Amino acid sequence: MPQYHQFDALVVGAGGAGLMAALHASRSVKTAVISKLYPTRSHTGTAQGGISAALGNLEEDHWEWHAYDTIKGGDFLCDQDAVEIMCREAIDAVIELEHMGLPFDRTPDGRIAQRRFGGHTNNITKKPVMRACHAADRTGHMILQTLYQQCIKQNVTFFDEFQVVDVLVENGACNGVVAVELATGEIHVFHSKATLIATGGFGKMWKVTSNAHSLTGDLPAALLRRGLPLEDMEFFQFHPTGIYKLGILLSEAARGEGAVFINGKGERFMARYMPTLKDLAPRDICSRCIYQEIREGRGIDGKDYVYLDFRPEVINRYFEEDGNPKRVDAHYLEQKLPDIIEFARVYLGVDPITQPVPIQPTAHYAMGGIPTTNDAEVLADETGRIVEGLYAAGEVACVSVHGANRLGTNSLVDLVVFGKRGGIRMAEYAKQASFRPINRDAAAKEGAAQLERIRNSNGTERPSAIRKELQALMDDKVGVYRTGAGLEEAIDHIRDLQARYQRIRIDDKGYKWNTDLMEAWELGNLLELAEVTAYSALWRQESRGAHYREDYPQRDDVNFLKHSMVWKNGRLEVRSKPVRITRYAPEERKY
C-alpha cells in the first residue's frame, strides 16, 4: 500500500527557489518540501559570484539599467514586463536575504559590497557597473544555507531524499505528485491543492558541464509526459570559464575582479571582439569568441583551450591599460575568490596567483524550461491558459527573464524573486481552493510502474553507456555552434538511444537505496529533454543569444522574435508565442 499525505502546498526541490517559495507559502498554509537531495546539497549552493540588485552602494545604479542590461543580454527574447518585475524586486529581495542573516561582504561603511559582472553596465557611460552583491565567491552557498536556516526556524516540513516520479496533472489541474522514498523504495502519494516545481536545471545531458550529477530534468520530463509544453529549450548557456576537461565552474567574478582571457599568442583577444566591455561581455559572446580563437589556431599550443589569467601583475597591467585606477594583490584575490583559486589548485594543480588557468566553455544553465506567468503559474499552452494549482520557479521555469542568454548573477535574482512570488501566489490559491479528488491507488500504481519497468527490464544495454554516448553527442552536435544537418543527425541518434534505452538492464533489483535504478530512470528524462532541445534548436533558423546556427548566422526578428513551445504527444510539435515588449525596442547587440 502506498503511503498517503495531504498538504495545501507542495514544493518539489529544495534549492533557492524552492526554499524561498516554502518560506513564504508556509506562513499561511500547510506546506511540505520534497527533495531528492538533502536541501543543503542543492545546486544553488555552487553559485559563486553574486546576486545583482541596483542598490547603488558603491556607484550610481538604477533597476531600469539592470532591466535594460538583462534584456540586451538576453538578445531581446526576454519578456520585458517580467524582467522589470525581477530587477525592481531584486532590491527588496537582497535586503530580505540580509535581514534573514545572509553574510554578505561589506563596504568600509558596513553596507553590502558589490562587484562588476559580465554585461552589467552603467547605461550612460556603457562601462561595467558594480551591481553584484556577494559573499566572497560562495554567494550561492550563503543563500542556500540562509534559506535552509530560516526554514528550520519556521519549522517547515521536509521530505528529504524523496524522488518525485510523476505529477498528477489531469483535466487542466494539478493535484499533487507521486514520489519514491529512496531509503526504502516505498511509494508515497502527495495530495495537494497547489504544487510548485523548483528542481533546477538539466545540464547532465552534456559531457563538459558545471552541473551536478543530480541535474537530470526529472520534473520537466514528467510534465512533458503529462502533455504539457516546455518553452525555449534551444537556449542553453555555455559558460566560458569551465576548468579544462572537467567543466567545473570558475566564476565570472574572476573577470569582475579583473581577470582576462589570453590566447595561444599571449593576446587579450576579447578587446578585439568587444572593445567596450572586453572580458566582461556576456557569456554567450565570450564562449563563441573562445571557440573562434581555437578554430583559427590560436588556442594554447594550438589545442582546444585558452587561458583565464588572474595573476595580480596581469590584472594590474590591463587595469592600467584600461585607465582603471584599481590595483590588486595576491592577498586581495585570495579574499575575494578563495573557492575558485582552490578549485584550480586541487583539480588542475595550477596556482592562479602565479600561473594562467586552462579553461573551456562548459554547459551551464537552462534559459528554457517550464513556461510560467509572472506569478510562477504554469502555462498550458501558447495562449496564456494556466494549469490550475501548478507553479514553477527558478532555473526549471521559463518566465522568461533570461531570454536567449542569461546574464551572470541573474539566476540567483530569478530564484529569490520568482520563488517568493510563486510561494505567495500558491498560498493565496490554496487558501480559497479545495482538494480535488484523486484516485490514490491508481496514481501510486502508475508511478511505481515506471520504476518496475526498469527494475524488471532484462535487456543488454548498460544505462551508463547510453548516457556517455548521449553526452558526447550533445557536446559535439548541440553545443555552442550548431548546424541544421548536425541537429538532424543528433535527433536521429537520440532516438536511436531512446530505442536502446528500452532494452536496458540494471544490476540492482532491490528496493532500499537503489541508486542503480534511479540513475537509469533519470537517464530516461535526459533522453526526453535532449530530444526536445535538439528539436527546438532545429526549428529556430536564426542565431540569437546562446543559440548559434552556422547555417543561419544572423538574428532574424522578422521570423523568430518569439518563444518556442514544444509538446511531445506521440510526436514532437513546436508552436510559438510572441515576446512581450514594454519599453526596450530590439536593437543590434554591441558591447
* Sites of contact with other proteins (CB under 8 A): 37-38, 40-43, 45-46, 94-95, 98-101, 103-112, 135, 138, 141-142, 145-146, 149-150, 152-153, 183, 212-214, 246, 248, 339, 342-343, 346-347, 349, 462, 464, 506-508, 510-516
Whose cell is 588557468? That residue is 357
List phi, psi (to 5°) of 228. -100, 155
Closer residue to other proteins in complex, CB, 68/148: 148
In angstroms, the Cα distances linking 420 to 134, 414, 424 are: 20, 10, 6
Closer residue to other proteins in complex, CB, 67/135: 135
Give the shortest CB-49-to-other proteins separation in angstroms: 14
**Closest by CA position to 165, among listed 175, 180, 176, 182:** 180
Closer residue to other proteins in complex, CB, 45/264: 45
Closer residue to other proteins in complex, CB, 511/539: 511
Closer residue to other proteins in complex, CB, 26/214: 214
Closer residue to other proteins in complex, CB, 322/342: 342
Contacts of 197 (CB under 8 A, 6+ apart): 12, 13, 167, 219, 223, 370, 378, 390, 391, 392, 393, 396, 397
Reading the block at residue 44, the C-alpha cell is 544553488
Could you tell me if 576 and 371 are in contact, meaning their C-beta atoms sit under 8 angstroms apart?
A: no
Give the shortest CB-152-to-other proteins separation in angstroms: 6
Closer residue to other proteins in complex, CB, 106/385: 106
Closer residue to other proteins in complex, CB, 39/486: 39
Give the shortest CB-38-to-other proteins separation in angstroms: 7
In angstroms, the Cα distances linking 503 to 458, 464, 498 are: 7, 13, 9
Give the shortest CB-183-to-other proteins separation in angstroms: 6
Pairwise CA distance, residues 165 & 179, whole Å: 5
Give the shortest CB-468-to-other proteins separation in angstroms: 8
List phi, psi (to 5°) of 226. -90, 10
Give the shortest CB-347-to-other proteins separation in angstroms: 7
Give the shortest CB-112-to-other proteins separation in angstroms: 5
Could you tell me if 274 and 281 are in contact, meaning their C-beta atoms sit under 8 angstroms apart?
A: yes
Whose cell is 540567483? That residue is 412
**Closest by CA position to 389, among listed 380, 398, 400:** 380
Give the shortest CB-563-to-other proteins separation in angstroms: 31
Pairwise CA distance, residues 225 & 8, whole Å: 24
The 3-state DSSP class for residue 107 equals coil
Closer residue to other proteins in complex, CB, 340/399: 340
Pairwise CA distance, residues 323 & 311, whole Å: 18
Could you tell me if 230 and 23 are in contact, meaning their C-beta atoms sit under 8 angstroms apart?
A: no
DSSP letter assigned to residue 537 = H
Which residues make beta-bridge pairs with 548?
Answer: 481
DSSP letter assigned to residue 40 = G
Pairwise CA distance, residues 382 & 229, whole Å: 9
Roughly what angle, to the nearest 10 degrees, separates helices 139-153 and 16-25? Answer: 30
Selecting among 116, 138, 283, 482, the annotated active-site residue is: 283
Which residues make beta-bridge pairs with 358?
Answer: 307
Give the shortest CB-15-to-other proteins separation in angstroms: 11
Strands 31-35 and 157-160: parallel
Reading the block at residue 575, the C-alpha cell is 508552436
Gyration radius from the chain CA atoms:
23
Closer residue to other proteins in complex, CB, 157/373: 157
Reading the block at residue 5, the C-alpha cell is 499525505
288 is catalytic: no
Roughly what angle, to the nearest 10 degrees, separates helices 80-100 and 410-432? Answer: 90
Give the shortest CB-67-to-other proteins separation in angstroms: 21
Task: Kindly tell me the sign of the dihedral angle through the C-alpha atoms of 73, 566, 551, 580.
Answer: negative
Pairwise CA distance, residues 557 & 4, whole Å: 50
List phi, psi (to 5°) of 354. -120, -10
Residues carrying an active site annotation? 283
